[in-house]
Amino acid sequence: MNRKLKRITITMALMAGILACNNPETTQRVEAEDKPSADSFSFVFITDLHLNNHRPESFDAFVQAVDIAVVANVDFIITGGDNVDVDGMGSERMDEARSLFQKYKETIDATGAIVKLTIGNHDRYWHSEKAQETHGSELFTEFFGETYYSWDHKGVRFIHINTAEVCDGSYCISDLQRQWFQQTLDQTPKTQPLVIIAHVPFLSLYYPALEGYYTHTDVFSGFKDVWDMFAAHNIQLVLQGHMHLFEEINVLGTQFITGGALSANWWGGSFYGTEEGFVMVNWDGTEMSWEYVDIGWEAEKR
């Protein structure tokens, strides 16, 4: 059964001190002048999968989502973190944590799709010998490579950052990662279209708007400094996860999209109206457009 997702758009006009919320029927677009032309393409942004052995059907839902993306003829899939749930596993469950990553990798390989991964806080395993040094990313790196990296596709540069690192007890990007990020930006022409992918958001307003509170775990520390680093570039989108809610925030021309969650309410049904789904993004060589796609998954009763 297909269910229409109630979409809330949050536009922030900071200079005027205006916060406007609406519920658009049409896809929002990011426009900029004098962008270089590039071949058109589409891709899917899937975040907060939370694949786990307690909910083995979660792997079936992931394959279902990939199948929808393949039928739509997208060029690739990007994940936004929290791919699997291993962060709560103790040292006695090392084999289980490793097997969960292995199952995920085998599932991706079996689909034949191009999948670019982002690390989330639930992807961290804290009981390896190098856990503190690697911010819990050792197992993720073993199976999928670096937790922050960049790559180009048809003229657009994609930069994945790891906002699940820990500094003084808060989510952050470490000094080492920040140096890498600056070097990457220095090597990126300012006219080149740029997409930033992070798990823990730069910005989010859902929880303070809907629940009346805001915590330090809702965004990563120092997000404004990181944002300022790429402000002078031709930024197209900032894709984020973590909140399990679909959210659009535009601040002075920078478009942030919080991508909902494939798992919705941790495989227990919709979460504040956000169904199990992903964000479909289209690039026509000049501008990007997007929509949230409900994959039609029905949560099993437990």
250 lies in some domain: yes
Nearest to 181 by CA among 214, 146, 212, 216: 146
Name the domain count of the chain: 1
Looking at per-residue confidence, does 57 or 12 come out higher? 57
Q: Regarding beta strands 170-172 and 246-251, do their DSSP bridges make them parallel or antiparallel, or are they unpaired? A: unpaired
**pTM for the predicted model, two decimal places:** 0.86
pLDDT tens per residue across span 63-97: 999 999 999 999 999 999 999 999 999 889 999 99
Can you give the residue range of the structural domain that contains 236?
40-294
CATH number, position 233: 3.60.21.10
287 lies in some domain: yes
Q: Regarding beta strands 193-197 and 234-240, do their DSSP bridges make them parallel or antiparallel, or are they unpaired? A: parallel
DSSP class of 121:
G
DSSP-assigned states of every residue in 167-218: ETTEEE--HHHHHHHHHHHHTS-TTSEEEEE-SS-S---HHHHHTS---TTS
71 lies in some domain: yes
Residue 154's SS3 state is coil
16 lies in some domain: no
- Which strand (E) or helix (H) includes residue 133? helix 131-134
Residue 35 in this model has a pLDDT that exceeds 70? no
32 lies in some domain: no
Distance between start and end Cα atoms, the chain: 20
HSE of 35, CA atoms in CB hemisphere, 13 A: 21
pLDDT tens per residue across span 139-196: 999 999 999 999 999 999 999 999 999 999 999 999 999 999 999 999 999 999 999 9
